[in-house]
Amino acid sequence: MHSRKSIYFISLLFLAVASTGYSQTIKPEKFYNNFSSTVQRLETTSSFMKSNLQFNVKKSSVVVDSMLCKQANGDRFKYDFSYNNRSQISSYFIDLQDDGRWTNHEKYTYDYYENGNKKSSLAETWNGTGWIPYYKQSVEYDENGYMSLFLAEDWNGTEWVTDYLQIQQNDAGGNMIYADYTNGDFRIIGRFEYDPNGLLITETDSVKNEGASWQYYLTSKTYNPDKNVISELDKIMIGDVWVNYNQITYEYDSDKNLILESEKRWNESSESWKEHFHYKYEYDDNNNNTSVVCKSWDETSGSWINKERYTYKFNSAGNILSELYEKTDDSQNWVNIYRYNYGYDEQGYFTNGAYEEWFENSWIPADGYFQFDDPAGYGRFYTTTWQLEKVYYGTTTGIAGGSPAVNNYSLSQNYPNPFNPTTSIEYQVPGNENVTLKVYDILGNEVATLVNEQKPTGAYQVQFNSADLSSGVYFHKLETGNSTSVKKLLLLK
């Protein structure tokens, strides 16, 4: 059952981390574990990870109504969301497309305290006749609003079994002590201390190893007057002595953008710091992070050598359009690894994306990790898929039956176009009536009937497979009792 949690959609991470304004990322080669469940106020200094790229945030009454995803193996999923009067997700359904029909797959429900804090969530799967629970989470808070308990449980068929438990205590200043319980034992005990500005200054972690011995880690941070971290010192305890391990320094430009992150490792034999990695950040005139280059120190040549590179492109509104990740080969040539592409509507809301990996000198579909901001301001949506085909938006007062509000007829341009051999066609109807959607060649001959049935009010998407057709211009035509619309398709084989 665990694999399902990593494959499918996780919306608005259950802990309040996403809504605190702190960025939680995992730094490459960090010497101790970063734990995904760490509490609301934990700040982990950002590195070159993708989550540094902020999609355009539009806090409003607009919410994500539904979305369509396609995985690299061809599976297509549809997500339909419901909300409470705070525009927080109260439930969502995941449907799987099977032989052209949508069937129940998974269901998630959420409960909240009166102040809006998340209280519990329940994940269920469809077994063909009914919903079966398989995973749940619950959270408790202290009188100051800090999380005091987080519990995740798995259903084993007869009872709920603890998967993960975190207990924490906070003082009035927000300093926190926590303990993590996994695999039937307390594995991690930590303490976080903050300055009066709420900035993390020290973090102490005790981690139980496989051999039941404890390992101790200490991280200290300092900040500039702009509250940006400028140094981080990591130590590990050997015997009863704290020993240097890792040191990171940060530099910023006049616009407060991070421009250089330098990481050094402690050399015990020489008792000195040795160069390890550095990350150089570049920005455009709008302060969008356009590239990050990671270099490592080569002891043999005594110089920096390229290791990784991220390149980003943005539109005029500051929304990211593409991301390219590259690594160097043995000859220091840049080699493609993966890429993302993103699309937006006229209001700047994220609507679609695709992920591909480089294999044998060509880009192939693969399942990537997408994230985009909740327009209602409650955090971020996350999903793992190849192609996030379409994100639909609505309002908490304008959603009926989990479908986008539809007030008129429309036939959208197919996507992609040109295409080979499949393409998606979207249309919507504002009333319950008979709908036909057909494809014609340039001579007017009908080559495919995609839809011919009664349709209730709603927005729809169908797939057109042209495997048996030759390259050329085609047309798709939507007809209802009150409307006719035609669009051109271009098939290139």
CA separation for the pair 329, 321 (Å, rounded): 27
Q: List the pLDDT tens digit at each of the 493 positions of the chain.
A: 333 333 333 333 333 222 222 222 222 222 222 222 222 222 222 222 222 233 333 334 688 899 999 998 889 999 999 888 778 889 999 999 988 889 999 999 999 988 888 999 999 999 999 999 999 999 998 887 788 999 999 999 999 999 999 999 987 777 889 898 876 777 788 999 988 878 889 999 998 876 667 889 999 999 999 999 999 999 999 988 999 999 999 999 999 999 999 999 999 999 999 999 999 999 999 999 999 999 999 999 999 999 999 999 999 989 999 999 999 999 999 999 999 999 998 888 899 999 999 999 999 999 988 888 888 777 778 788 889 999 998 876 533 333 444 567 778 777 777 777 888 787 888 777 788 999 988 788 889 999 998 887 777 778 888 888 887 888 899 888 777 888 888 787 6
**Residues 53, 56, 62: CA angle, nearest 5 degrees:** 135
Residue with tokens 């098939």: 491
Stated as kind and residue range, the H or E segment containing 274 is strand 272-283
Residue with tokens 């991690």: 188
Measured in degrees and rounded to the nearest 5, phi and psi for residue 367 equal -90, 115
Say what the pTM is: 0.67
Alpha-carbon distances, residue 83 vs 64, 75, 96, 113, 374 (angstroms): 10, 26, 22, 15, 12
Q: Which domains does the chain have, with CATH numbers?
A: 2-405 (no CATH), 429-491 (2.60.40.1930)
What string of DSSP letters covers 126-154? E-SSSEEEEEEEEEEE-TTS-EEEEEEEE
